[in-house]
Structure 1
């Protein structure tokens, strides 16, 4: 299914942004871990904030790129049943499976946001330490901003699952006709049902 031009540009910008954020956060994690190893084994001290900062960055990175991994088909999948179905059957199975997935992700999004809101009084120690070392006072960013990554990631995943079902509708139906099925779901002279 071909997307309209404005929507296509929006999707492209979204994917580019997610890739940039994932790449940048991974670069920061690698640099901080190199600094941590250097500090510990060469300088004889340790950066007390390094592990915590890397953990938080990794959490955000993971939840942000879940949807991209899903869209690229990089999740583990059992494809025994879909491989035996027609193109139309594969799409119907995908649509049926998407319903409980979206419901589950919606529940995680909702309860994840509720859980994150409970931590509005607790600040992020690593960022407070770094900010305090640089500017003389703690940053005061609460840890709920870390936990909300679960809700943000699941909400984005809902969009990816729904988009996958919608965008695969046209191609799956066209391939059903190309594989020898007409509108009445009967075999045609093109080559019969393939599946």
Structure 2
């Protein structure tokens, strides 16, 4: 059991590291592009017509990537007066009941996000085409579907966080207490 817990902790740690790296990379790119845009506009006197669009796409991806992490860290607004009044097992049961509509909503939105993204397979990202044409003389041709699929990816990751939260809080509330009860009963029998 110890080995599987260690392996799981490593996988989760790697996942969090990758998501944070990608979110940080998006932010660094946004800051760099906006600094270049300000420099171009106010020093050179010309504007980068692709900067705002590219920053918007990066911000959308960054937002959907970190949704699950924000959920896991408890950074969403929550009303917790009812859960606070319940015992630990009651809190877990309330979480489990509330997870059903949350997962249903996330699944529905992820499905519709995928459906929406699949409709734009032939449309390319104008900002990247402009940049690539200026650099290489030909369009990049990257589909805008890769921007729209961020909804499906982000909401699917968030659903995994909801499920992981239930699993992580289930064990201490139910399984560990059962083991303690079995140990106490064994001591009483001797």
Could you tell me the TM-score, scaled by structure 2's length? 0.89
Runs of 4 or more above 4 Å deviation: 174-177
CA distance in 1, matches of 2:96, 2:155: 18
Contact 1:86 1:176 in 2 (8 A): no
Could you say which residue in structure 2 is the equivalent of 1:98?
A: 99
CA distance in 1, matches of 2:172, 2:93: 13
SS for the counterpart of 1:81 is helix
Aligned residue pairs, count: 179
Deviations 1:79-124 (A, max 9, x none): 0100100011000000100011001101111111011000011110
CA distance in 1, matches of 2:131, 2:54: 10
Deviation at 1:176, TM superposition (A): 7.5
Could you tell me the TM-score, scaled by structure 1's length? 0.87
Could you say which residue in structure 2 is the equivalent of 1:125?
A: 126
Could you say which residue in structure 1 is the equivalent of 2:150?
A: 149
30-39 or 3-12, which deviates more: 3-12
Deviation at 1:8, TM superposition (A): 1.7
Contact 1:36 1:47 in 2 (8 A): yes
Could you say which residue in structure 2 is the equivalent of 1:25?
A: 26
Are 2:90 and 1:56 equivalent residues in the alignment? no
Could you say which residue in structure 1 is the equivalent of 2:46?
A: 45
In the alignment, structure 2 segments of 5+ residues that lack a partner are 183-190
SS for the counterpart of 2:44 is coil
Deviation at 1:6, TM superposition (A): 1.9
Q: Which has the higher helix share?
A: 2
Could you say which residue in structure 2 is the equivalent of 1:135?
A: 136
Deviation at 1:172, TM superposition (A): 3.1
Deviations 1:50-83 (A, max 9, x none): 0000000000000010000000111111001001
Deviation at 1:134, TM superposition (A): 1.1
CA distance in 2, matches of 1:133, 1:172: 59
Deviation at 1:11, TM superposition (A): 1.1
Contact 1:87 1:176 in 2 (8 A): no
Deviation at 1:171, TM superposition (A): 2.3
Could you say which residue in structure 1 is the equivalent of 2:171?
A: 170
In the alignment, structure 1 segments of 5+ residues that lack a partner are 184-195
CA distance in 2, matches of 1:26, 1:172: 38
